Amino acid sequence: MSEGETIAVFYERFAVGQIHLSASGALSFAYDPRWLATRGNFPLSLTLPLRRGLFEEGIILPWLANLLPEEEQLAALSRALGLSTSDALALLREIGGDTAGAISIGEPSVRNDWTYEALQDHYGKPTESQALARHFEDLGKRPFLAGENGVRLSLAGGQKKTALTVLNEDGKPKLGLPQPRDRLAIPKNGAPSTIIIKPDNPRLPGIAENEAYCLTLAGLVGISVAECTILEADGRKALAVARYDRSLRKDGSLRRLHQEDFAQANGIYPGQKYEQGTIPGLDLARLLRTGDHLPPADALALLDQMIFNILVANTDAHAKNYSVLLGNGVAMAPLYDVSSVLHWDHVNQYHAQKIAGKRRKPADIAPRHWNEIAHSAGLNASALRRRTGEIIDAMVAHRVEATERISSLAGATPEMVEHVAQLVEGNALRVGGRLRGLDGG
């Protein structure tokens, strides 16, 4: 980017504020006075409350960086666009039309300009399955179709994924998972996506079944989750997750809902999403204390998500796998990224956050660790242990239903689903057995 530039941040056609790059190369952000005076406005972040004045680089840059993909995805994206991986603002100016949440960077998102190109038409394939497989090949070279005319979208995280829109029989965008007569489409010219699709991964065999089972089980337990299913892609499979940060207006058009992950909400960079590292990241106490911004029921929902992640051995439950919705107040977002590590011996087996001050594996969790989690976050220890036991009981009670639901999906391998279910239940029961021994149950 050239120095001395100002880049606008938009919610649809409304200017939310401006990011300024000074002659010295420093970034800052200020809300547009009209946005501050607009009824129904919302902050970009818990770290960027609605007020006049400048927010310095140390606040705005972590928020921007967390809108981008990471690792191999970021490197491939940078190569495709001819930009530095460290220039978050320049990258988002190119791809920041449809991000996690409601904001577009650099250009307004005007409803009359929104268009959708069916995936089959784009690739000239006779079936949706073949078109999706071809799309996965494309993503390996150009994450999020970077450089494609009219396509400006970005998803955070290191996992390969795509954001598409589900169209109904009439060719209109819809919410929820695709049904047999629906079509998948590429959103263009600022149009919102409605579904996130994660392709299978040979390094993580069974990942689609694993995540689909864990999300389904969480929903049956009573935890708010993103809807999911498994899609076939010409011999491959993928997990499809309906976006919860989208809604429909009365006229049938899509509306983005604003959200941010816990890395953004706590002002840390993507590289700090795990607690361990040369620059410490979000620890379990700070993660749970993010719930101080939430209404009581939502703070309890955060607690349930944390408990469930430990019980299923989701050691990848880092700061970017928890989010809040920012609109009419602050609300906890549904659980959206959860799988059990127990199926993969070659994957890091330690939880994303230290538990009771040390790195711990799923099998290491003991009653005293729950007590120390509670103490560090200002919670009641006996209430935390009791809630953990209730979730374990619900997991066991709903295991059969969750297994049957996922095993019945086209493309799912029932043996894989059953194997994951056994591993998850075994870990939960081991934790529960130790708790009951402590509490005399």
Reply yes or no on whether 316 is catalytic. Answer: yes
3-state secondary structure (DSSP) of residue 327: strand
Report d(CA 420, CA 210) in Å as an integer.
6
Q: How many helices (H) and strands (E) does the chain have?
A: 14, 17
Closest CA to 69 of 159, 152, 137: 159
Rounded CA gap, 96 and 163, in Å? 13
Distance CA(391)–CA(435), nearest Å, equals 12
User: Closest Cα to residue 31, out of 14, 23, 40?
Assistant: 14
Beta bridge partners of 103: 11
For residues 126 and 128, what is the distance between their CA atoms, to the nearest angstrom? 7
Which residue is catalytic, options 200, 245, 261, 316? 316
For 8, residues 6+ apart whose C-beta sits below 8 A from its C-beta are 15, 17, 18, 19, 106, 108
Query: CA–CA separation, 336 vs 215, rounded Å?
Result: 7
Label each residue of 136-176 as H, E or C. HHHHHHCHHHCCCCCCCECCCECCCCEEEEEECCCCCEECC
**In the numeric block, which tokens belong to residue 74?**
């970021």
Judge contact between 319 and 287, C-beta under 8 A. Answer: yes
30 close to 44: Cβ distance less than 8 angstroms = no
Which residue numbers are catalytic? 316
